[in-house]
Structure 1
Amino acid sequence: MILGIGTDLANIDRIAGTLERFGDRFRNRVFTETEQRKADRRADTAGTYAKRWAAKEACSKALGTGLRMGIAWRDMAVHNIDTGQPMMVVTGWAIERLAGMTPPGHEAVIHVSLTDDHPWAQAFVVIEARPLAGTAQAVT
């Protein structure tokens, strides 16, 4: 079952300008060390940061809060599995919110899709509740 859906569109040039203007202050406030290492290794550093910015915005929307109610930028982080597929890791208030949304007998799975086409970066986040193994589900 779908618990939440979020999307966001970020302007790469705006993120590049923010990085230029605020540098580490911006990076450290919004992005985890893992996200910073990933972005700083890429040729399109600003585009990588913009996609992650959009993913955090989309995740906050899928959580049903937007960036309010105690959620922090660094409570949501985009990591990549070995194949390169992005995944969202949540901590802090975001994980508390996720647990509160997840019905008993289910686990939450956060799906992330990222894309960019200069000057735009876009993210979609879908939060799914999957029945836990061995949990009987009623069929209606």
Structure 2
Amino acid sequence: MILGTGIDLLKISRVEKVLNKYGNIFIKKILSNDEIKKNKKKLYQANKLAKSFATKEAFVKAVGTGFNKEISFKDISLKSEKNGKPFIDLSERVKSFLKTKTPNGYTTKINVTISDERDYVISNVIISLQKK
């Protein structure tokens, strides 16, 4: 059963413009502390930032709230498994919030798909419910 689905399409040049204008201010607003630590050499790659940004946008759409007092960009970390498969790691605050949206007797599973082609990045997030 699906709790929510979200998708975000982003033109990489938009991220590049903001990155060139604001640099570290933009990075510190969008990336979690964990993402910053693990990607120091790739922080200024617009394509990588665009993937993170689009995935976080897709996640809050799947939750159905958008960014608000419960969820900020820094509460969501985009990571990869050893085989390259992307996944989302959530702060404890967002995990607790997501539990309030999850029916009793169920847990959530978050599936992430990201694709990029020249000028665009697209990310799809599906939050599914699984019986405990």
Q: Please, what TM-score do these two structures have when normalized by structure 1?
A: 0.85
Residue 94 of structure 2 corresponds to 94
| Worse overlay, 81-90 or 61-70 | 61-70
Deviation of residue 20 (structure 1)? 1.0
Asked if 1:67 corresponds to 2:70, the answer is no
SS at 1:79 equivalent: strand
Report the residue type matching 1:84 in the other structure.
G
Structure 2: gaps spanning 5 or more residues: none
Distance in 2 (CA, whole Å) between partners of 1:127 and 1:39 is 29
Residue 45 of structure 1 corresponds to 45
Residue 3 of structure 2 corresponds to 3
Distance in 2 (CA, whole Å) between partners of 1:84 and 1:4 is 24
| Worse overlay, 99-108 or 50-59 | 99-108
Structure 1: gaps spanning 5 or more residues: 133-140
The root-mean-square deviation of aligned C-alpha atoms, in Å, is: 1.9
Cα deviations across residues 57-87 of structure 1 (Å, max 9, x unaligned)?
0000001101224321111111111111000
Q: Please, what TM-score do these two structures have when normalized by structure 2?
A: 0.89
Structure showing greater radius of gyration is 1
Residue 28 of structure 2 corresponds to 28
Report the residue type matching 1:40 in the other structure.
K
Q: Is the contact made by 1:34 and 1:79 (CA closer than 8 Å) also made in structure 2?
A: no
Deviation of residue 48 (structure 1)? 1.1
Residue 79 of structure 2 corresponds to 79
After superposition, the Cα gap between the structure-2 partners of 1:99 and 1:121, relative to the gap in structure 1 and judged at 3 Å, is: same
Q: Structure 1 runs of 4+ off > 3 angstroms?
A: 36-42
Q: Is the contact made by 2:70 and 2:97 (CA closer than 8 Å) also made in structure 1?
A: no
Residue 15 of structure 1 corresponds to 15
Residue 55 of structure 1 corresponds to 55
After superposition, the Cα gap between the structure-2 partners of 1:84 and 1:39, relative to the gap in structure 1 and judged at 3 Å, is: farther
Cα deviations across residues 81-119 of structure 1 (Å, max 9, x unaligned)?
111100011115422321111122221111000011121
SS at 2:58 equivalent: helix
Q: Is the contact made by 1:39 and 1:46 (CA closer than 8 Å) also made in structure 2?
A: no
Q: Give the number of equivalent residue pairs.
A: 131
Report the residue type matching 1:26 in the other structure.
F
> Taking every aligned residue pair, what percent have the same amino acid on both sides?
29
Asked if 1:113 corresponds to 2:109, the answer is no
